Protein backbone atom coordinates (compact mmCIF):
# COMPACT_ATOMS: atom_id res chain seq x y z
CA UNK A 1 0.00 0.00 0.00
CA UNK A 2 1.36 3.42 -0.96
CA UNK A 3 1.17 6.28 1.49
CA UNK A 4 -0.76 9.33 0.41
CA UNK A 5 1.48 12.25 -0.46
CA UNK A 6 0.08 14.15 2.52
CA UNK A 7 1.58 11.54 4.86
CA UNK A 8 5.12 11.90 3.47
CA UNK A 9 7.18 14.46 5.43
CA UNK A 10 8.47 17.50 3.57
CA UNK A 11 12.06 17.38 2.41
CA UNK A 12 12.95 20.43 4.51
CA UNK A 13 11.57 18.74 7.65
CA UNK A 14 13.65 15.61 7.06
CA UNK A 15 16.71 17.76 6.33
CA UNK A 16 16.23 19.62 9.62
CA UNK A 17 15.95 16.33 11.52
CA UNK A 18 19.08 14.85 9.90
CA UNK A 19 21.11 17.99 10.51
CA UNK A 20 20.04 18.33 14.14
CA UNK A 21 20.73 14.63 14.73
CA UNK A 22 24.17 14.86 13.13
CA UNK A 23 25.18 17.88 15.21
CA UNK A 24 23.28 16.98 18.37
CA UNK A 25 22.24 20.62 18.43
CA UNK A 26 19.33 22.63 17.07
CA UNK A 27 21.52 25.76 17.14
CA UNK A 28 24.25 24.26 14.95
CA UNK A 29 21.64 22.76 12.63
CA UNK A 30 20.06 26.20 12.25
CA UNK A 31 23.44 27.72 11.39
CA UNK A 32 24.16 25.06 8.75
CA UNK A 33 20.73 25.39 7.12
CA UNK A 34 20.65 29.19 7.44
CA UNK A 35 17.51 29.10 9.57
CA UNK A 36 16.61 30.22 13.08
CA UNK A 37 16.72 27.82 16.00
CA UNK A 38 12.97 28.24 16.47
CA UNK A 39 12.42 27.22 12.82
CA UNK A 40 14.39 24.02 13.39
CA UNK A 41 12.38 23.31 16.54
CA UNK A 42 9.09 23.79 14.67
CA UNK A 43 10.18 21.43 11.89
CA UNK A 44 11.22 18.77 14.41
CA UNK A 45 7.89 19.11 16.23
CA UNK A 46 6.06 18.81 12.91
CA UNK A 47 7.90 15.59 12.11
CA UNK A 48 7.31 14.19 15.60
CA UNK A 49 3.60 14.96 15.35
CA UNK A 50 3.38 13.39 11.91
CA UNK A 51 5.14 10.21 13.05
CA UNK A 52 3.62 10.09 16.52
CA UNK A 53 6.95 9.62 18.28
CA UNK A 54 9.51 11.71 20.15
CA UNK A 55 12.70 11.96 18.12
CA UNK A 56 14.85 13.92 20.59
CA UNK A 57 15.26 14.10 24.33
CA UNK A 58 16.71 17.01 26.27
CA UNK A 59 19.63 16.02 28.48
CA UNK A 60 21.50 18.73 30.43
CA UNK A 61 20.53 21.55 28.09
CA UNK A 62 21.37 19.62 24.95
CA UNK A 63 19.34 17.41 22.63
CA UNK A 64 20.08 13.73 22.02
CA UNK A 65 18.31 11.27 19.77
CA UNK A 66 15.65 9.08 21.31
CA UNK A 67 15.45 5.39 20.44
CA UNK A 68 12.93 6.25 17.72
CA UNK A 69 15.22 8.97 16.40
CA UNK A 70 18.19 6.60 16.25
CA UNK A 71 16.08 4.08 14.35
CA UNK A 72 14.91 6.69 11.85
CA UNK A 73 18.21 8.47 11.20
CA UNK A 74 19.95 5.88 8.93
CA UNK A 75 16.99 5.72 6.53
CA UNK A 76 16.62 9.49 6.41
CA UNK A 77 20.35 9.98 5.83
CA UNK A 78 20.30 7.45 3.01
CA UNK A 79 17.23 9.05 1.42
CA UNK A 80 18.74 12.54 1.57
CA UNK A 81 21.96 11.20 0.05
CA UNK A 82 20.01 9.65 -2.80
CA UNK A 83 18.13 12.90 -3.36
CA UNK A 84 21.42 14.80 -3.45
CA UNK A 85 22.75 12.33 -6.01
CA UNK A 86 19.65 12.79 -8.16
CA UNK A 87 20.06 16.56 -8.09
CA UNK A 88 23.78 16.40 -8.86
CA UNK A 89 23.17 14.03 -11.78
CA UNK A 90 20.52 16.38 -13.14
CA UNK A 91 22.85 19.36 -12.81
CA UNK A 92 25.71 17.45 -14.45
CA UNK A 93 23.51 16.61 -17.44
CA UNK A 94 21.94 20.06 -17.77
CA UNK A 95 24.13 20.79 -20.82
CA UNK A 96 22.87 17.71 -22.65
CA UNK A 97 25.57 15.30 -21.48
CA UNK A 98 24.80 11.87 -20.03
CA UNK A 99 25.96 10.78 -16.57
CA UNK A 100 27.28 7.24 -16.11
CA UNK A 101 27.80 6.10 -12.51
CA UNK A 102 30.34 3.31 -12.02
CA UNK A 103 31.29 1.49 -8.81
CA UNK A 104 34.60 -0.35 -8.66
CA UNK A 105 37.04 -1.86 -6.19
CA UNK A 106 39.35 0.89 -4.90
CA UNK A 107 42.71 -0.52 -6.03
CA UNK A 108 41.35 -1.92 -9.30
CA UNK A 109 39.78 1.46 -10.05
CA UNK A 110 42.90 3.50 -9.33
CA UNK A 111 45.44 1.19 -10.95
CA UNK A 112 43.60 -0.50 -13.83
CA UNK A 113 40.48 1.49 -14.65
CA UNK A 114 41.56 5.12 -14.27
CA UNK A 115 44.62 4.91 -16.57
CA UNK A 116 42.31 3.58 -19.32
CA UNK A 117 39.42 6.01 -18.84
CA UNK A 118 40.85 8.76 -21.09
CA UNK A 119 40.24 6.41 -24.02
CA UNK A 120 36.58 6.04 -23.08
CA UNK A 121 36.26 9.80 -22.57
CA UNK A 122 37.68 10.44 -26.04
CA UNK A 123 35.20 8.00 -27.56
CA UNK A 124 32.25 9.45 -25.60
CA UNK A 125 32.82 13.18 -25.08
CA UNK A 126 29.16 13.72 -24.14
CA UNK A 127 29.34 11.35 -21.15
CA UNK A 128 30.20 12.53 -17.64
CA UNK A 129 31.60 9.75 -15.48
CA UNK A 130 30.83 9.35 -11.79
CA UNK A 131 33.35 6.84 -10.37
CA UNK A 132 32.99 5.60 -6.80
CA UNK A 133 34.84 2.93 -4.84
CA UNK A 134 32.98 -0.01 -3.34
CA UNK A 135 34.63 -3.03 -1.74
CA UNK A 136 31.57 -5.24 -1.31
CA UNK A 137 28.36 -5.94 -3.26
CA UNK A 138 25.59 -3.44 -2.56
CA UNK A 139 22.07 -2.58 -3.66
CA UNK A 140 22.72 -0.99 -7.06
CA UNK A 141 19.14 0.21 -7.41
CA UNK A 142 19.24 2.02 -4.08
CA UNK A 143 22.64 3.58 -4.79
CA UNK A 144 21.71 4.47 -8.40
CA UNK A 145 24.79 2.96 -10.07
CA UNK A 146 24.65 2.03 -13.75
CA UNK A 147 27.63 -0.35 -13.72
CA UNK A 148 29.80 -2.07 -11.12
CA UNK A 149 33.10 -3.94 -11.39
CA UNK A 150 33.08 -6.88 -9.02
CA UNK A 151 35.77 -9.30 -7.85
CA UNK A 152 34.70 -12.75 -6.73
CA UNK A 153 32.13 -15.16 -8.09
CA UNK A 154 29.44 -14.16 -10.65
CA UNK A 155 26.82 -13.68 -7.96
CA UNK A 156 25.06 -10.35 -7.31
CA UNK A 157 21.46 -9.95 -6.19
CA UNK A 158 19.15 -8.35 -8.76
CA UNK A 159 21.95 -7.96 -11.32
CA UNK A 160 23.75 -9.80 -14.11
CA UNK A 161 27.50 -10.49 -14.11
CA UNK A 162 29.62 -10.63 -17.28
CA UNK A 163 33.13 -12.08 -17.09
CA UNK A 164 35.84 -9.44 -17.53
CA UNK A 165 39.11 -11.18 -16.69
CA UNK A 166 40.73 -13.70 -14.40
CA UNK A 167 43.33 -12.90 -11.79
CA UNK A 168 46.97 -13.91 -12.18
CA UNK A 169 49.13 -13.50 -9.07
CA UNK A 170 52.93 -13.14 -9.40
CA UNK A 171 55.73 -12.83 -6.82
CA UNK A 172 57.39 -9.42 -7.11
CA UNK A 173 59.88 -7.20 -5.30
CA UNK A 174 61.95 -4.10 -5.82
CA UNK A 175 65.14 -4.52 -7.89
CA UNK A 176 67.27 -3.64 -4.86
CA UNK A 177 65.65 -6.32 -2.69
CA UNK A 178 66.01 -8.92 -5.43
CA UNK A 179 69.67 -8.03 -5.83
CA UNK A 180 70.29 -8.49 -2.10
CA UNK A 181 68.72 -11.97 -1.94
CA UNK A 182 69.61 -14.99 -4.03
CA UNK A 183 66.22 -16.24 -5.24
CA UNK A 184 66.47 -19.18 -7.63
CA UNK A 185 63.54 -21.39 -6.53
CA UNK A 186 60.30 -21.01 -4.53
CA UNK A 187 61.88 -22.43 -1.38
CA UNK A 188 64.39 -19.55 -1.41
CA UNK A 189 61.51 -17.22 -0.48
CA UNK A 190 60.48 -19.22 2.57
CA UNK A 191 62.74 -17.29 4.95
CA UNK A 192 62.60 -13.93 3.21
CA UNK A 193 60.48 -10.93 4.29
CA UNK A 194 56.96 -11.50 2.93
CA UNK A 195 54.14 -8.99 2.56
CA UNK A 196 50.54 -10.11 3.13
CA UNK A 197 47.05 -8.83 2.37
CA UNK A 198 45.03 -9.05 5.59
CA UNK A 199 41.82 -9.99 3.79
CA UNK A 200 43.55 -12.76 1.82
CA UNK A 201 46.03 -14.18 4.36
CA UNK A 202 46.52 -17.56 2.65
CA UNK A 203 47.91 -16.27 -0.67
CA UNK A 204 51.55 -17.07 0.10
CA UNK A 205 50.65 -20.46 1.60
CA UNK A 206 48.66 -21.32 -1.53
CA UNK A 207 51.50 -20.17 -3.78
CA UNK A 208 54.07 -22.24 -1.86
CA UNK A 209 51.72 -25.25 -1.92
CA UNK A 210 51.35 -24.94 -5.68
CA UNK A 211 55.12 -24.78 -6.04
CA UNK A 212 56.19 -27.74 -3.98
CA UNK A 213 55.27 -27.41 -0.34
CA UNK A 214 53.36 -25.51 2.32
CA UNK A 215 55.98 -23.98 4.55
CA UNK A 216 54.90 -22.56 7.89
CA UNK A 217 56.99 -19.48 7.12
CA UNK A 218 54.36 -18.59 4.53
CA UNK A 219 52.42 -16.70 7.22
CA UNK A 220 55.31 -14.61 8.54
CA UNK A 221 55.73 -10.97 7.61
CA UNK A 222 54.03 -7.58 7.51
CA UNK A 223 50.29 -7.32 6.84
CA UNK A 224 48.28 -4.62 5.08
CA UNK A 225 44.55 -4.23 4.47
CA UNK A 226 44.80 -2.80 0.93
CA UNK A 227 46.65 -3.93 -2.20
CA UNK A 228 47.70 -0.30 -2.71
CA UNK A 229 49.62 -0.41 0.56
CA UNK A 230 51.35 -3.66 -0.34
CA UNK A 231 52.35 -2.30 -3.74
CA UNK A 232 53.92 0.79 -2.17
CA UNK A 233 55.61 -1.34 0.50
CA UNK A 234 57.06 -3.64 -2.16
CA UNK A 235 58.31 -0.68 -4.22
CA UNK A 236 59.98 0.67 -1.06
CA UNK A 237 61.80 -2.65 -0.59
CA UNK A 238 59.97 -3.74 2.55
CA UNK A 239 59.49 -7.30 1.33
CA UNK A 240 58.39 -9.74 -1.36
CA UNK A 241 54.74 -9.52 -2.40
CA UNK A 242 52.22 -11.64 -4.28
CA UNK A 243 50.28 -9.22 -6.47
CA UNK A 244 47.78 -9.40 -9.34
CA UNK A 245 49.50 -8.45 -12.59
CA UNK A 246 46.60 -6.18 -13.57
CA UNK A 247 47.32 -3.97 -10.55
CA UNK A 248 51.05 -3.47 -11.13
CA UNK A 249 51.24 -2.87 -14.88
CA UNK A 250 52.89 0.53 -14.39
CA UNK A 251 55.40 -0.75 -11.84
CA UNK A 252 56.41 -3.67 -14.06
CA UNK A 253 56.72 -1.38 -17.10
CA UNK A 254 58.92 1.08 -15.19
CA UNK A 255 60.87 -1.72 -13.46
CA UNK A 256 60.17 -0.32 -10.00
CA UNK A 257 58.90 -3.84 -9.35
CA UNK A 258 60.19 -7.00 -10.97
CA UNK A 259 58.81 -10.52 -11.09
CA UNK A 260 61.00 -12.63 -8.82
CA UNK A 261 60.17 -16.05 -10.25
CA UNK A 262 58.17 -17.02 -13.31
CA UNK A 263 55.69 -18.93 -11.17
CA UNK A 264 52.27 -17.28 -11.71
CA UNK A 265 49.19 -18.48 -9.84
CA UNK A 266 45.57 -18.20 -10.96
CA UNK A 267 43.05 -17.57 -8.21
CA UNK A 268 39.56 -19.05 -8.01
CA UNK A 269 37.90 -15.64 -8.34
CA UNK A 270 37.63 -13.27 -11.30
CA UNK A 271 36.54 -9.76 -12.21
CA UNK A 272 33.03 -9.19 -13.55
CA UNK A 273 31.07 -6.31 -15.05
CA UNK A 274 27.76 -6.00 -13.21
CA UNK A 275 24.61 -4.41 -14.61
CA UNK A 276 21.56 -4.02 -12.36
CA UNK A 277 18.23 -5.48 -13.34
CA UNK A 278 16.27 -3.10 -15.52
CA UNK A 279 19.38 -1.45 -16.95
CA UNK A 280 20.76 -4.28 -19.07
CA UNK A 281 19.35 -2.49 -22.09
CA UNK A 282 20.62 0.98 -21.15
CA UNK A 283 22.71 1.96 -24.19
CA UNK A 284 25.49 3.81 -22.36
CA UNK A 285 25.86 1.10 -19.71
CA UNK A 286 26.15 -1.51 -22.45
CA UNK A 287 28.67 0.63 -24.34
CA UNK A 288 30.76 0.99 -21.19
CA UNK A 289 30.60 -2.77 -20.62
CA UNK A 290 31.70 -3.42 -24.22
CA UNK A 291 34.52 -0.91 -23.83
CA UNK A 292 35.68 -2.59 -20.61
CA UNK A 293 35.69 -6.00 -22.29
CA UNK A 294 37.74 -4.53 -25.12
CA UNK A 295 40.42 -3.40 -22.68
CA UNK A 296 41.30 -6.98 -21.75
CA UNK A 297 43.59 -8.81 -24.16
CA UNK A 298 41.97 -11.84 -25.78
CA UNK A 299 43.30 -14.99 -24.23
CA UNK A 300 45.02 -17.36 -26.72
* Per-residue pLDDT tens digits for 170-212: 999 999 999 999 899 898 888 899 999 998 999 999 999 998 8
113, 125, 227, 269 from 246: Cα distances, Å: 10, 26, 12, 14
Instruction: Give the pLDDT score at 196.
Output: 95
Q: What is the CATH number of the domain that holds 44?
A: 1.10.10.10
**pLDDT per residue as tens digits for the range 221-241:** 999 988 999 999 999 999 999
* Same domain, yes or no: 80 and 105: no
Dump pLDDT digits (tens) for 7-29.
677 888 888 899 998 988 898 98
Q: Which of 92, 114, 129 is the endpoint of a domain?
A: 92
Based on the fold, state whether residues 86 and 102 are members of the same structural domain.
no
DSSP element (H, E) containing 168: strand 159-173
Residue 144 and residue 179 in one domain: no
Residue 215 and residue 155 share a domain:
no
Task: Give CA separation, 121 vs 98, 103, 208, in Å.
Answer: 12, 17, 42
Is 145 found in the same domain as 9?
no
Q: What total of structural domains would you count in the chain? A: 3
- Per-residue pLDDT at 248: 95
Read off the CATH number of the domain in which 199 is found.
Answer: 3.40.190.10
| Strand (E) or helix (H) holding 128 | strand 127-133
CA atoms within 13 A on the CB side of 167: 18
Q: Of 92, 111, 135, which one is at a domain's C-terminal end?
A: 92
The domain of 159 spans 98-165+276-294
Amino acid sequence: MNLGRSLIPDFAVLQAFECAARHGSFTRAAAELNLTQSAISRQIRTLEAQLGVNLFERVRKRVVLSASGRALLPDVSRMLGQMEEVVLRAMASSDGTSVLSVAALPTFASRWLLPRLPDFARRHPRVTLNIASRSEPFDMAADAFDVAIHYGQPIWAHATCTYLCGEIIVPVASPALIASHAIHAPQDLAHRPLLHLATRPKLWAEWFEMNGGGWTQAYHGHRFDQFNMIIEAAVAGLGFALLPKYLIEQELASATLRIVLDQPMSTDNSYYVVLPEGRQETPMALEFQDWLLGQVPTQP
